[in-house]
């Protein structure tokens, strides 16, 4: 089944403790991106990648890192999480820029 | 990046009725996409309409695009309780931006 897989689905962590949210797609998509969704603010793009080793900032990149060493994986790294990064995170992929996205099921992160 | 705006924010109808939601945006676009999100889940791509298209259909969905008014509408005909979800429009600006802009969504409730 064609899908984007995120892990974990839920995560509670403490301020400052580094964490990684994994994202993997099995559709050979070139384009991958990370979003956060907050009430009243909608979806905002954090980072995107157009291909292996090619990444760029979205609208809200501060406090996040990404890497794209393989085409299928695009992990999101929070080096020192803070409470304002409590949010619902989505990974998404598409064949190329401007095409429809396939979204993962989301990761609900709480930073205390 | 500019944000699309859906209208209304919330819509409550009876099963069998039609549901119409609108999306307005500010700049020239390459394409506009509609997505559905069931509570807390990932977004699901519904339909993509390009800037040179005026209308598109997919099953019970009908999307129109008026580039002169910078607006789009999504019509769901003969709605069902299973259509209860939030609906988002996403725009890709023409001119090379890799950042799609999502609106805040319309919350649709269809009563059985």
The reply to whether residue A43 touches residue B3, judged by beta carbons under 8 angstroms, is no
The reply to whether residue A108 touches residue B40, judged by beta carbons under 8 angstroms, is yes
**Whether residue B1 has pLDDT greater than 60:** no
The answer to whether B48 and A96 are in contact (CB under 8 A) is no
Question: A-chain residues within 8 Å CB-CB of B36?
Answer: none
Convert the pLDDT of each residue in B4-54 to its tens digit: 688 899 999 999 999 999 999 988 888 999 999 998 889 999 999 999 999
The answer to whether B21 and A79 are in contact (CB under 8 A) is no
Give CA B8 to chain center in angstroms.
11
**Cα–Cα distance measured from residue A94 to residue A22, given in angstroms and rounded to the nearest whole number:** 17
Convert the pLDDT of each residue in A16-61 to its tens digit: 999 999 999 999 999 999 999 998 888 999 999 999 999 999 989 9
Predicted pLDDT at B83: 97
Window B:67-96, CB contacts with A under 8 Å: 88, 90, 92
**Cα–Cα distance measured from residue B12 to residue B8, given in angstroms and rounded to the nearest whole number:** 10
Q: What percent of chain B lies above the pLDDT cut of 70?
A: 94
The strands making up B19-24's β-sheet, listed across from edge to edge, are B5-7, B19-24, B71-76, B61-66, B55-58
Range list of β-strands (E), A1-112:
4-7, 10-13, 19-25, 31-38, 42-51, 54-57, 65-66, 76-78, 87-94, 102-103, 107-111
Tokens read off for A112: 């205390």
The reply to whether residue A48 touches residue B98, judged by beta carbons under 8 angstroms, is yes
Candidates A42, A56, A98; nearest CB to B104: A42
**Cα–Cα distance measured from residue A13 to residue A87, given in angstroms and rounded to the nearest whole number:** 12
Closest Cα partner for A78 from A14, A26, A5? A14
């Amino acid at each position: 089944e064609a899908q984007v897989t995120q892990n974990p689905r839920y995560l509670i962590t403490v301020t400052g403790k580094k964490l990684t949210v994994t994202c993997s797609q099995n559709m050979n998509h070139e384009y991958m991106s990370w979003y956060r969704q907050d009430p009243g603010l909608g979806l905002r793009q954090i980072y995107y990648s157009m291909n292996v080793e090619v990444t760029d900032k979205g609208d809200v990149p501060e406090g996040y890192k990404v890497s794209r060493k393989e085409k299928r994986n695009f992990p999101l790294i929070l080096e020192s999480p803070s409470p304002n990064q409590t949010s619902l995170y989505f990974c998404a992929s598409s064949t190329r820029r401007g095409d429809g996205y396939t979204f993962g099921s989301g990761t609900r992160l709480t930073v205390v | 990046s500019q944000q699309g705006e859906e209208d209304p924010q919330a819509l409550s109808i009876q099963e069998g009725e039609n549901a119409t939601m609108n999306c307005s945006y500010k700049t020239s676009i390459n394409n506009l996409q509609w997505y559905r999100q069931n509570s807390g889940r990932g977004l699901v791509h519904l339909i993509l309409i390009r800037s040179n298209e005026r209308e598109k259909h997919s099953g019970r969905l009908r999307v129109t695009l008026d580039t002169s008014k910078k607006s789009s509408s999504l019509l769901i005909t003969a709605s069902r309780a299973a259509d209860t979800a939030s609906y988002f429009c996403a725009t890709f600006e023409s001119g090379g931006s890799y950042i799609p802009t999502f609106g805040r969504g319309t919350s649709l409730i269809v009563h059985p």
